[in-house]
Amino acid sequence: MKAVLQTTISNSRGRRPWSSRVVVRAAAVETLDVTSTIALIEKSINTIRFLAIDAVEKANSGHPGLPMGCAPMGHILYDEVMRYNPKNPYWFNRDRFVLSAGHGCMLQYALLHLAGYDSVKEEDLKSFRQWGSKTPGHPENFETRGIEVTTGPLGQGIANAVGLALAEKHLAARYNKPGFEVVDHYTYCILGDGCQMEGISNEACSLAGHWGLGKLIAFYDDNHISIDGDTEIAFTESVDTRFEGLGWHVIWVKNGNTGYDEIRAAIEEAKAVKDKPTLIKVTTTIGYGSPNKANSYSVHGSALGAKEVDATRQNLGWPYEPFHVPDDVKSHWSRHVPEGASLEAEWQAKLADYEKKYKEEAAEFKELISGKWPDGWEKALPAYTPESPADATRNLSQQCLNALAKVLPGLLGGSADLASSNMTLLKMFGDFQKDTPEQRNVRFGVREHAMGSICNGIALHGSGLIPYCATFFVFTDYMRAAMRISALCEAGVIYVMTHDSIGLGEDGPTHQPIEHLASFRAMPNILMLRPGDGNETAGAYKVAILNRKRPSVLALSRQKLPQLAGTTIEGVEKGGYIVSDNSMRNKPDLILIGTGSELEIAVKAANVIRKEGKAVRVVSLVSWELFDEQSDEYKESVLPAGVSARVSVEAGSTFGWEKIVGSKGKSIGIDRFGASAPAGTLYKEFGITMDNVIAAAKTLL
C-alpha cells in the first residue's frame, strides 16, 4: 500500500505522466490501498498542522492559522510535486518555493523538517522564534537552509518568485540545448489575501503575465480572513478577473481543505499551460481543525491556547504529544533524502553529458552558477584622467555597465521605464521578453517596488546572476521595502539611482532627493555610494560587483561633472580617501569633504584657500559604510582627530554629517525640499557653492 503511493509519487517527481488520481479511481480492487493512502496523507497533513500548532504554542507567539489551512497544499507540494535534495538545499536545479505569506513560516519549517532538511530538526521546531534559533518568526534565507528568500512583509514574496522564475527562464534560454535541459525547474509560491492587496503583487504579476512565466505556479490561499476580520470589510474585488486581465491562467480549487485531488489536478493543469503563469486560487479555512477558532481572525496570529489545542487534537483525532511525528509519516517522508540525492545525481550526469557535447557553454554555465567570475574582469572597468571629457555620472555608469556586461555573463537588469534617463541599456543585448528570454535588458515598466523584489529573487536564485535595477534616486521611496529586504537577506542587488540631487533641475521637489542619502546611510548592511566622476563611478561598480552579499546603491548625477585629479578606484574601495592635499605630517589647517557632484566644489574651494597659504585637504567620502570598515589608522590618516576645522558639502540633507565634521565643523547641504528651476539656479539659491564653502571654512581657520 505504501509502495503504491510511493511509486505514484516517484512517477510524479520523475515528471513522467502524473497519475495519482488515476490510481485512486482506477479499480475497486485498489480501494483498500487508496483508503489507507488517503489516511496516511491526512495523517501527514495533520502532522504539519500540529507541528505548527505545537511550535506556536511553545513559543506562545506565531501564526498557526495559515499552516493549518495550507497544510494540504503544502503536503502535496513538498511530498508529491517538488523536486529538491534535502541534503543539498542549494542544488542548482531544485524547484523553488516561496511562502509569500511569510507569517505562516511554521508550514515551511514543518515541511522542511519532514523532508529531511538538516536545518530544521526537532530541537529547531522547539526553539521557534527564540534567540539564535534556525526557526525565526518569519522565513529568513540567511538563517535557514532550505528557505529561498526572506518574506514576511507582504506581497514581496510573490515578486521574489517572479524573479526566481525569470532567472530560470533566462538561464534555460541561454544554456539549455535539445535533450539537455540543464536548467529546468518550477517556482511555486503561496500567497494570501494580504499579499494580494499589496500593490507590489499586482506590479510583479503584471510582469509575470507579460513575460509569460509558464513555470511560475502561485497558490492563492483564499481564506477570506485577514487580521482585521473578514476580507469583506476591505477586499471585495474579483481576484480571478484581475489575474485574467494580467494574462495569467487562473484555476479555482474550491475545496482546499480536503480536495487533495483537486489540488493535484490544478497543478497538473498549471504545468500544462506553458506560456502563462498560473494562479491556483485555493479556498481554504484558516485554522482548519480548530473547533472554536477556525475561520476567524483569532487563529491568524496568536497561539491557540492550551484549551483550544486540546480541542483541536480531539477534533482532528490527534492523540500524540507535542512535536511528535508518527512513525508511518516519518517513514513515508523518509524517501525524500535518497530521492533527492538521485535527482541531483541524475542532473549531474546530464550536466556531465552536456559538458561533453557543449564544452564552451558548459564551462560558462558552470562558472556562472558557481558564483565565480572570469579572471581579471575588473580590468574591463574604464579609467579616466582629468583630461577625459566631463560627463554625468549616469553616463559614466552606462560605460561601466556596458564594459562589465561583456566580461560578466551574469550581469543583467534594467530600469523602471527610465532606461534612457538612467542610462542603463546594455547596448549589445536585446530585451528580455517572453519570446527572447535569453536577452539581458529587463524592462520593468513603472514598477519600482516589484523591480526591487524581482531583483532580490534573481540574486537569490543563486545562479551567479548579478541583477541591477534603476530609477530616479528619489523613487527609492517606492521600493524602499524591497531594498531593505535586499540588505537583510544578503542579496547583492545593484541599485543604479540617477538624478541624485537638486542637480536634476526643473522637475522640481517631487523629483529631487534630499534625505535619501542619509536614509540609506542609516540602513544596515547596504552600501550607499555616491561617486563624483568617472574613476569613482568605476570604483563604485567594482565595489558593487564584489559585494554579492549586500546591496549597493549608486547615486548618480543627471548633470555633467568634470573628471577630477586624484580620484581612484582604490580610494572608492576604502569609502573615503584623500583626493588632494597640500598639508604636511597629517596636519592640514582644514579638511573639505565632499561626495558625488559636490566633490568638484570642494576641490575648487580648496584651490582658492590654498592660494591664501593654507594647507587644505580634500576628502571624497563616497561611501560612509566602507570608510567605517577601515582600520582606525587609515581613518586617522584621512580624517585626523586633531583637525577640527572641517567643512562638508553635499547637495542633500546635512543629517548625520556631525559624525564626520564633528561638533566644531560645518556642513553645507539642503535641509528643506528642493524647487523647480534650472540646476545652476538651484545650486546658487540653495547655497551649494564654492563661495559658501570658502566662507564656512574661513570661520574655522
What residues between 98 and 127 interact with a second copy by CB under 8 A?
Answer: 102-103
Residue type, 362: A
Task: Tell me the C-alpha distance between 80 and 90, whole Å.
Answer: 20
What is d(CA 355, CA 351) in angstroms, rounded to the nearest whole number? 6
For a second copy, the closer CB: 277 or 409: 277
CB 235, min distance to a second copy, A? 5
The whole-angstrom separation of Cα 119 and Cα 127 is: 12
513 is in an annotated binding site: no
Angle at 13 between CA 435 and CA 26, to 5 degrees: 110
The annotation status of 170 as a binding-site residue, yes or no, is: no
- Judge contact between 134 and 119, C-beta under 8 A: yes
Nearer to a second copy by Cβ, of 210 and 548: the residue is 210
CB 239 within 8 A of CB 224: no
103 is in an annotated binding site: yes
Tell me if residue 203 falls in helix, strand or coil.
helix
Nearer Cβ to a second copy (147/579) = 147
d(CA 255, CA 675): 57
461 is in an annotated binding site: no
**Candidate ranges 128-136, 170-178, 356-364, 591-599; the one touching a second copy (CB under 8 A):** 128-136
How many alpha carbons fall within 13 Å on the CB side of residue 50? 25
Q: Which of 318, 475, 495, 627 binds a second copy (CB under 8 A)?
A: 475
Burial-class residue 407 by CB neighbours within 10 Å (0-12, 13-18, 19+): middle
Stretch of 67-75, 85-93, 500-508, 606-614 lying at the interface with a second copy (CB under 8 A)? 500-508
385 or 420, CB closer to a second copy? 420
Q: Is 663 in the site for a second copy (CB under 8 A)?
A: yes
- Shortest reach from residue 320's CB to a second copy, in Å: 25
C-alpha cell at 249: 491562467
Near a second copy by CB under 8 A: residue from 353, 367, 515, 573: 515
Chosen residue from 16, 17, 27, 131 binding a second copy by CB under 8 A: 131
Q: Which of 262, 308, 339, 448 is catalytic?
A: 448
Q: CA angle at residue 695 from 689 to 697, to 5 degrees? A: 105
Whether the Cβ atoms of residue 349 and residue 355 lie closer than 8 Å to each other: no
Give me the torsion for CA of 645, 648, 653, 655, rounded to 10°. Answer: -40
Among 137, 464, 534, 588, binds a second copy (CB under 8 A): 137
Residues 16, 307, 356, 672: which binds a second copy (CB under 8 A)? 672
The stretch near a second copy (CB under 8 A) out of 22-30, 145-153, 256-264, 554-562 is 145-153
Can 448 be counted among the known catalytic residues?
Answer: yes
Q: Does 420 bind a second copy (CB under 8 A)?
A: yes
Asked if 539 is part of the footprint of a second copy (rule: CB under 8 A), the reply reads: no
Binding residues among 320-339 for a second copy as defined by CB under 8 A: none
Going by the DSSP 8-state scheme, the letter that residue 555 receives in this structure is E
Minimum CB distance to a second copy smaller for 81 or for 251: 251
Closest distance of CB 150 from a second copy, Å: 6
Range 284-323, binding a second copy (CB under 8 A) = 297
3-state secondary structure of 647: strand
Our CB check for a second copy shows the closer of 534 and 669 to be 669
- The Cα-based distances of 569 to 416, 495, 536, 576 in angstroms read 28, 19, 6, 11
- Type of residue at 664: K
Ranges within 229-248 binding a second copy (CB under 8 A): 231, 233-247
Q: Is 152 one of the annotated binding-site residues?
A: yes
Strands lying side by side in the sheet with 616-620: 577-581, 616-620, 590-594, 646-649, 666-668
Is residue 507 a known part of a binding site? yes
Q: How many CA atoms lie within 13 A of 499 on its CB side?
A: 24
If binding means CB under 8 A, how many residues of this protein chain bind a second copy?
113
153 is in an annotated binding site: yes
End-to-end CA distance of the chain: 89
Question: Least distance in Å: CB of 19 to a second copy?
Answer: 35
Range 430-469, binding a second copy (CB under 8 A) = 431, 433, 443-450
Residues in 196-225 that interact with a second copy by CB under 8 A: 197-203, 206-207, 209-210
Taking the C-alpha atoms of residue 312 and residue 289, their distance in angstroms, rounded to an integer, is 6
Residue 261 phi/psi, 5° resolution? Answer: -65, -35
Q: How far is the CB of 574 from a second copy (least distance, A)?
A: 20
Q: How many CB atoms lie within 10 A of CB 506?
A: 12
Q: Which of 61, 37, 65 is nearest to 49 (CA)?
A: 65
* Positions in 146-175 near a second copy (CB under 8 A): 150-155
**516 to 535, contacts with a second copy by CB under 8 A?**
518-519, 521-525
Restricting to residues 179-198, name those near a second copy by CB under 8 A.
193-195, 197-198
The pairing of strands 391-392 and 560-561 is antiparallel
Cβ of residue 446: shortest distance to a second copy, in angstroms?
4
C-alpha cell at 204: 510583479
CA angle 259, 260, 265 (to 5 degrees): 100
For residues 542 to 581, the per-residue mask of contacts with a second copy, x marking binding by CB under 8 A and - elsewhere, is ----------------------------------------
Q: Which amino acids are annotated as binding site for substrate, given as ranges?
A: 63, 300, 394, 421, 499, 507, 511, 558
Q: Which amino acids are annotated as binding site for thiamine diphosphate, given as ranges?
A: 103, 152-154, 194, 223, 300, 475
Q: What is the set of active-site residues?
A: 448
